[in-house]
Amino acid sequence: MSARTLPLLFLNLGGEMLYILDQRLRAQSIPGDKARKDEWTDVDRKRVMNDIIATMFNKKFMEELFKPQDLYSKKALRTVYDRLAHASIMRLNQASMDKLYDLMTMAFKYQVLLCPRPRDILLVTFNHLDAIKDFISNAPGILNQVDETFRQLIETYNCLSDGEFQLIRQTLLIFFQDMHIRVSIFLKDKVQNSNGRFVLPISGPVPWGTEVPGLIRIFNHKGVEVKRAEFTAAGNYITPQREGSFELYGDRVLKLGTNMYSMTRPVETHVSGSSKNQPSQAKENIVPNPLAKEELKFLARLLGGLDIQKPAGGETGFRLNLFMTDEEEEHAAQTRPEELSYRVINIEATQEPGRRAELSRILGEMDVAEPRPGSAEKGEDLLALMDGL
């Protein structure tokens, strides 16, 4: 697995999360002069977006994220997104958070599958960051945070070889391989089957730097072309006119990673019936994870860099429903297969007196295996690590 995959996974999933939240907040917004105290306004929407983006691109958080490290489990990453989604006045219940995470992961999985070449995953990431900058165009301080991450991406990834990007792509596909959640947008566009698997096109532009299929060249042992043969390709292919820009500003050319919710359309998810019996997902919950302790240490470091803004005074958080009605949300929570649900684990990485008891409770509830022999951090106490944050 590639040790450089985590920042790309986090930023792209975060970009998809912001697309969905922006779409749902706009759909539920009420004009400010007509809104009741418990209803969303456009001012609330902008505040939520600004707060989440500012937290997501926190400098300390990004520094920890960009350190070379193995990719962690779905549950570990899900905990980070739970914390991010609640970084402002917005509150999501379990069913809406599950739905949000499903939409995020399936959208990015589709983008990874469709990338013409592994290096184009970086262009997908740039598309997400370009859109995020549009969300906070009136907040120069937060905009500088995003630009700094942009520069860090360019410095870290532009110099990588095609082979290293291929390893990153394979790492992402391994992460997504057992996830087959049906999404109505994909089903309606006929890019996803009823079993949740994607339908990949056999036509379209070929990767930049390659030729349209249809010609076979034969060379001798000296490298001289001696023969040509033509064949009819199964699809209709075209050559891209130019390569997308890998700089801070420019035309990315590739449209993967842009906001597919910019048009008014439903974003329902449906849990495939076959997923209830998927052994790989059930196994993740039943079999002890040898890296569980290391993952908790990783979360402690990451969440320690998240500066979560608590609602001021007596202000209460606004609840956002990702379903059309409260009844749909309640039904989704009751019918969701157990292996697809996630418990929300709140880790307070602050100097509050009660945090040791909270972490002890979390460790007590998780089936944590002992570190493997030879581990660099064998025997290190998570609570001691948290004390240093």
**How confident is the model over 119-133, as pLDDT tens digits?**
999 999 999 999 999
State how far the Cα of 116 lies from the Cα of 179, in Å rounded to an integer: 21
Q: Which two tokens stand for residue 9?
A: 């996974």
| pTM (predicted TM-score) | 0.73
Consecutive H or E run containing 335: helix 326-335
State how far the Cα of 358 lies from the Cα of 117, in Å rounded to an integer: 45
Backbone dihedral angles phi then psi of residue 91, each to the nearest 5 degrees? -130, 135
DSSP per-residue codes, 101-161? HHHHHHHHHHHHHH-SSTTHHHHHHHHHHHHHHHHTTT-HHHHHHHHHHHHHHHHHHTT--
Give the residue, 72 or 124, on which the prediction is more confident.
124
Listed residue (337, 278, 299, 266) closest to 95, CA to CA = 337
- 321-351 burial: b if 16+ Cβ within 10 Å, else e: bbbeeeeebeebbeebeebbebeebebebee
Q: Which two tokens stand for residue 298?
A: 């990783």
Is residue 353 scored above 70 in pLDDT? no
Name the band, by pLDDT with cuts 50, 70 and 90, for residue 77.
Answer: confident
pLDDT at 26: 86
Question: Which of 163-172, 180-189, 371-380 has the largest mean confidence?
Answer: 163-172
DSSP per-residue codes, 149-175? HHHHHHHHHTT--HHHHHHHHHHHHHH
DSSP per-residue codes, 59-76? HHHHHHHTS------HHH
CA 127 to chain centre: 14
Listed residue (81, 76, 109) closest to 21, CA to CA = 81
Is residue 354 scored above 60 in pLDDT? no
3-state SS, residue 1: coil
**Residues contacting 253, CB < 8 A, separation 6+:** 123, 240, 242, 243, 244, 245
pLDDT at 367: 38
Listed residue (363, 347, 367, 337) closest to 98, CA to CA = 337
Q: Are 198 and 119 in contact (CB under 8 A)?
A: no
Name the band, by pLDDT with cuts 50, 70 and 90, for residue 204.
Answer: confident
Is residue 260 scored above 60 in pLDDT? yes
pLDDT at 145: 95
pLDDT at 246: 93
**Residues contacting 312, CB < 8 A, separation 6+:** none
The pLDDT of 229-246, averaged and rounded, is: 90
- Lowest-pLDDT range of 77-81, 230-234, 308-312: 308-312
Is residue 288 scored above 60 in pLDDT? no
Q: Which two tokens stand for residue 170?
A: 């394979």
